[in-house]
Amino acid sequence: MQHAALALDPAFRIAEVDPRLYGSFVEHMGRCVYTGIYEPGHETADGEGFRGDVAELVRELRTPVLRYPGGNFVSGYTWEDGIGPREDRPRRLDLAWRSYETNQVGVDEFATWARRMGSEPMMAVNLGTRGIDAARNLVEYTNHPSGTYWSDLRRRNGTAQPHGIKLWCLGNEMDGPWQIGHKTASEYARLAAETARAMRRVDPSIELVACGSSHQRMPTFGTWEETVLRETYDLVDYVSLHSYYEQRGDDRASFLASGVNMDRFIESVVATCDHARGVGQHRKRMNLSFDEWNVWYQSKFPGESNLDWAERPRLIEDEYSVVDAVVVGSLLISLLRHADRVKIACLAQLVNVIAPIRSEPGGPAWRQTTFHPFALTSRHGRGIVLRVEPAGPTYETSWMGEVPVVDATAVHDEETGAVTVFAVNRDQHEPLALDVDVRSWANLTVGEHVALFDDDPQATNTVGQPDRVTPTRLSDVKAADGTVTAVLPALSWNMIRLSGA
């Protein structure tokens, strides 16, 4: 059997995990909102029309942040369409996804629902077709207590207390030519800076995210961030990153190395931010908001322009396999490894649209394979991330070159003393014995080893078989002489929990 080893020490701290690393994303796209989180006629719907079965799964994911309402959608969105009596709200064309938008859910309903899910809303403003005025009015509507036009309108619409939305995205993917109101870097930089100033005048306590590149293969990647930060460095708190992964052809070995790509992407943006800090002689260190990430089979998507106009169409409802779940698990490991700079991350999206939760109109809701590593990492990956340097075998990939077979990180909960190791075995055929040196702790005991793997790596969860793929509890972990050894099954995501005394 192959072997790998790593040593843990509570002194080797990367950073405390910001819980907002486990955020997700609700876009007005496909069936994420309508028949996803919201379906008034559904047998589990609450008084507001939100599905109870979906809500239960959302709570299980423990997502402290939910980004809303887009995505590409926001670049053509008129937020005022989604407030006030539902029967008066206009039906509009959503040009991003060629959909009919009924506006039955808007900022009031979403923010209230998100809080009930234990999440804070993270709101994006439209910097495509709109700008400073719409953005500052929205902050006044959501955050100002009362006594002004927009805050009193919110109160008349039924929300007496301000929503108190702290996190705001200054547009979405504004570097992308597909974006409605696409901008050059300098056009966006000026607009983002002035919008940030106005929004902060309404509420100085808000945190702002400037758009980084839509993805790392954009021709302007790097120079976009540089230009944007030149104008906005002192006005924003985060730069955004977006990245989606998929298996190309039969090259599963490369797909399994997606976490390596995410590491490099994050480190490139960190370098650009630090360069901007040096050049501008800024005091503060810029943090990152990885506010869209996931596995997405984009190659199967026909493209927006080929869609027929429809209301709540079935868009990009990818069905995730065991392999996809293992990749999602390793992307979470990459995010944790960079917890010193990545403070916010949003799994895109939450329900139906490339999502960990699926639902059928009038039917059930269920967990996709990817739900499991996310829910378990979100639950147990809290505390201090430790620096981990696994030593072990490597393999060659056509995409990322030579990569380690084992990807791992560890989190130390200083309150309970628990240590949790998250590890992926990228070997598709062989199990691997992982030795974890825990001599730095006097009395850690083995808690549990939970793994996600399957004889059929392409197995998925479906409406007919919602629990075809679930995590397995393994009883193989041994502890002796300060070393814990666990066997990671071939092609698996693993969580090994060690309890403090």
Residues 377-396: x/- map of binding to ligand AHR (CB under 6 A)? Answer: --------------------
Residues 272-301: x/- map of binding to ligand AHR (CB under 6 A)? Answer: --------------------x---------
Q: Which stretch binds ligand AHR (CB under 6 A): 57-65, 68-76, 199-207, 306-314?
A: 68-76
Q: Which of 80, 225, 231, 292 is catalytic?
A: 292
**Pure H helices in 35-148:** 52-61, 107-116, 132-143
CA-wise closest residue to 461 among 366, 351, 376, 374: 366
Residue whose CB is less far from ligand AHR, 102 or 349: 349
Instruction: Tell me the C-alpha distance between 353 and 71, whole Å.
Output: 12
Instruction: Tell me the C-alpha distance between 94 and 87, whole Å.
Output: 19
172 binds ligand AHR (CB under 6 A): yes
Residue whose CB is less far from ligand AHR, 78 or 483: 78
- Residue whose entry in the numeric block shows the structure tokens 């709200």: 89
Report the residue from 30, 71, 131, 381 that binds ligand AHR according to the rule CB under 6 A. 71
Encoding tokens for residue 16? 């405390």
356 binds ligand AHR (CB under 6 A): no
Count of residues that bind ligand AHR according to CB under 6 A: 11
Q: Find the shortest distance in angstroms from Cβ 210 to ligand AHR.
A: 15
- Within 10 Å of residue 363's Cβ, how many Cβ atoms? 13
- Known active-site residue 120: no
Report the residue from 18, 27, 109, 324 that binds ligand AHR according to the rule CB under 6 A. 27
348 binds ligand AHR (CB under 6 A): yes
- Amino acid of residue 41: G
349 binds ligand AHR (CB under 6 A): yes
C-alpha pair distances (Å), 70 with each of 234, 413, 414 = 25, 34, 36
Number of Cα atoms under 13 Å in the Cβ half of residue 363: 9
Encoding tokens for residue 317? 């409802």
Q: Which of 39, 120, 173, 231 is catalytic?
A: 173
Helix (H, G, I), strand (E, B) or coil at 485: strand
The DSSP annotation for 149-179 comes to HHHHHHHHTT--S-----EEEESS-TT-TTS
- Known active-site residue 39: no
Report the residue from 49, 70, 212, 373 that binds ligand AHR according to the rule CB under 6 A. 70
Residue whose CB is less far from ligand AHR, 6 or 58: 58
Instruction: Tell me the C-alpha distance between 245 and 265, whole Å.
Output: 13
Q: Which residue is nearest to ligand AHR (CB)?
A: 71
Which are the catalytic amino acids?
173, 292
The footprint of ligand AHR (CB under 6 A) covers: 27, 29, 70-72, 172-173, 214, 292, 348-349
